[in-house]
Amino acid sequence: MKFSVLAFSLLATTVLTSQAHADKLDDIISSGTLRCAVVLDFPPMGSRDESNNPIGFDVDYCNDLAKALGVTAEIVETPFPERIPALMSGRVDVGVASTSDTLERAKTVGMTVPYFAFEMAVTANEKSGIKSFEDMKGKVVGATAGTYEAIALEKQVKAWGVGEFRPYQTQADVFLALSQGQLDATVSTSTVAQANVKTGKFPGIAVVGKAPFDIDYVALFTNREEYGLINYLNLFINQQVRTGRYAELYGKWVGGEVPSLSVNGVYR
Amino acid sequence: MLNYTFHWNQAFKALPQMLDGALVTLQIALLSMVIGLALALTLTAFRLSGNRILSGFATTWVEIARNTPALFQIYMAHFGLGNFGIHLSPYTALLVGIAFNNAGYLAENFRGALKAIPDTQARAGRSLGMTPVQAFRLIVLPQMLRIAFLPVTNQMVWAILMTSLGVTVGMNTDLAGITQELNARSFRTFEFFALAAVIYYIIAKLVTLAARLLAARMFRY
């Protein structure tokens, strides 16, 4: 009798603890679906084609990740400000959403090593007469709320002490305002700037130069405590570069020289 | 299930900044109400004028203001007018959008209030020798404003909450704008949004309370 009670409690403990040890990586594999938060208002990283299907670098990247995990990918569209609520409320497993890996944000979510790197470019309305980053001083400038460049640009405007900064909710609104002349200039990632100027949807704007911000390294993210998954993601990013898939996707969506994802002189 | 650890101390550090934003919110709401009330009175006068063009104009305004989303109205004030080279700053666009919306709703409040006043009162005034304008100004108008007072308070609360739509046109100094920015910087979404919700709630409650006290003083017999 005593023995069976002991055996039962031992069994119960084993079952319960093994359940408690099932982490997010296990959950993804057993559910058979990987849900990625992707920003689909951010070409060429994420957008929609004519038949409304999600396309872009981040979409392909999520599909590759799902393939490596042996599950099917589900793209969940999240505007920039909604990436974190989507993760925290359990609607997505991983963010493949061009998320800059700032220390402030890493207090809230778990960041992987960089999987992509952006350079910042200044795009200006041709009537504004802005020819370089310094010319933006004292003008009305804007960027997409919640992005790395918006935070950096707002700080710069405050440092200049003149001019006005306006954050818009989507990248499309920024370029619309810029094209209408409501904004004189914007700072965005050079890939996004080139892609938007090329569409021809926004007449009267041109990329005028580089912005002297640090290179914007972006990471995949998931819940902070999911070390198992973060570990897997880091290796996945490493393999993407090693196998040449990163360069292939870069050529497909962006083109030009493939940016390095490592920082000289320091480990991570 | 929410897989999240709350760090309220991080949010409370930003409280002074958020309260500054709350002041901007209140300022826009108040201004939009003042402008909205003036416009609504004008629209009501247009409707009563018997002039078909004026009353048609007023009806169109009310129809658009009441039957399209406030978000659309604010967006149009910024990007819609921007298309025609009329550039309103985010602050002005937000103010114009909400004032437009307020005017439509308030005009309907006034119409309802007018309906509640029997025609016979104005006629009694006329038979005492008042001119039509005098009868309206001295008998109908005071009663109309009194009946419409609480619905107007309601619209004020609505105006406060509508200011949060300013973020869609690049507003970053009001409570919603500041909350969004704090969120973008730190990703502490739930703390900042919960705090913002509490602040909106308190402002709305204070406005309702103030209106009740005011009504108790103004409308005693």
At B118-173, the pLDDT tens digits run 989 989 999 999 998 899 889 998 899 889 998 999 999 999 999 999 999 999 99
Query: Do both A199 and A238 map to the same domain?
Result: no
Q: Which residues from chain B sit within 8 angstroms of residue A85, using beta carbons? A: 189-190
Query: Do both A29 and A84 map to the same domain?
Result: yes
CATH of the domain at B110: 1.10.3720.10
- Closest approach of B58 to chain A, Cα-based (Å): 30
- Closest approach of B33 to chain A, Cα-based (Å): 25
- Closest approach of A252 to chain B, Cα-based (Å): 30
pLDDT over 60 at B1, yes or no: no
Residue B196: predicted pLDDT: 96
Question: Chain B neighbours among A 121-150 (CB < 8 Å)?
Answer: 142, 145-147, 150
Query: Do both A35 and A112 map to the same domain?
Result: yes
Query: Do both A35 and A76 map to the same domain?
Result: yes
Mean pLDDT of A138-148: 91
Q: With respect to residue B26, please indicate whether it lies within any of the assigned structural domains.
A: yes
Query: Do both A30 and A90 map to the same domain?
Result: yes
Query: Do both A247 and A199 map to the same domain?
Result: no
Number of separate domains in chain B: 1
pLDDT over 90 at A161, yes or no: yes
> pLDDT band for position A233 (50/70/90)?
very high
Q: With respect to residue A65, please indicate whether it lies within any of the assigned structural domains.
A: yes
Q: Which residues from chain A sit within 8 angstroms of residue B191, using beta carbons? A: none
* Average per-residue pLDDT for chain B: 92
Residue A14: predicted pLDDT: 55
> pLDDT band for position A5 (50/70/90)?
low
> pLDDT band for position A7 (50/70/90)?
low
pLDDT over 80 at B16, yes or no: yes
| B7, B170, B190: residue with CB nearest A166 | B170
Secondary structure of chain B as H, E, C letters: CCCCCCCHHHHHHCHHHHHHHHHHHHHHHHHHHHHHHHHHHHHHHHHHCCCHHHHHHHHHHHHHHHHCCHHHHHHHHHHHHHCCCCCCCHHHHHHHHHHHHHHHHHHHHHHHHHHCCCHHHHHHHHHCCCCHHHHHHHHHHHHHHHHHHHHHHHHHHHHHHHHHHHHHHCCCCCHHHHHHHHHHHHCCHHHHHHHHHHHHHHHHHHHHHHHHHHHHHHCCC
Q: With respect to residue A18, please indicate whether it lies within any of the assigned structural domains.
A: no
pLDDT digits (tens, 9 = 90+) for A88-128: 888 999 999 999 998 988 988 999 999 999 989 999 999 99
Residue A44: predicted pLDDT: 87
Determine the residue among A80, A108, A184 to mutate to test chain B binding: the one whose Cβ has the most chain B Cβ atoms within 10 Å. A108
Domain of B172? Answer: 9-218
Q: With respect to residue A268, please indicate whether it lies within any of the assigned structural domains.
A: no
Query: Do both A110 and A35 map to the same domain?
Result: yes
Query: Do both A64 and A109 map to the same domain?
Result: yes
Domain of A102? Answer: 23-118+217-253
Q: With respect to residue B38, please indicate whether it lies within any of the assigned structural domains.
A: yes
pLDDT over 70 at A32, yes or no: yes
Q: With respect to residue B54, please indicate whether it lies within any of the assigned structural domains.
A: yes
Residue B102: predicted pLDDT: 96
Measured torsion, CA atoms of residues A224, A154, A119, A192, in degrees rounded to the nearest 10: 90
Query: Do both A126 and A206 map to the same domain?
Result: yes
* Average per-residue pLDDT for chain A: 89
Residue B108: predicted pLDDT: 94
Residue A17: predicted pLDDT: 52
pLDDT over 70 at B7, yes or no: yes
CATH of the domain at A90: 3.40.190.10
| ipTM confidence | 0.78
pLDDT over 90 at A26, yes or no: yes
- Closest approach of B65 to chain A, Cα-based (Å): 23
Query: Do both A106 and A28 map to the same domain?
Result: yes
Residue A4: predicted pLDDT: 66
Q: With respect to residue B197, please indicate whether it lies within any of the assigned structural domains.
A: yes
Residue B165: predicted pLDDT: 95
Q: Which residues from chain B sit within 8 angstroms of residue A169, using beta carbons? A: 167-168
Q: With respect to residue B3, please indicate whether it lies within any of the assigned structural domains.
A: no
Number of separate domains in chain A: 2
Query: Do both A153 and A204 map to the same domain?
Result: yes
pLDDT over 70 at A10, yes or no: no
Query: Do both A229 and A206 map to the same domain?
Result: no
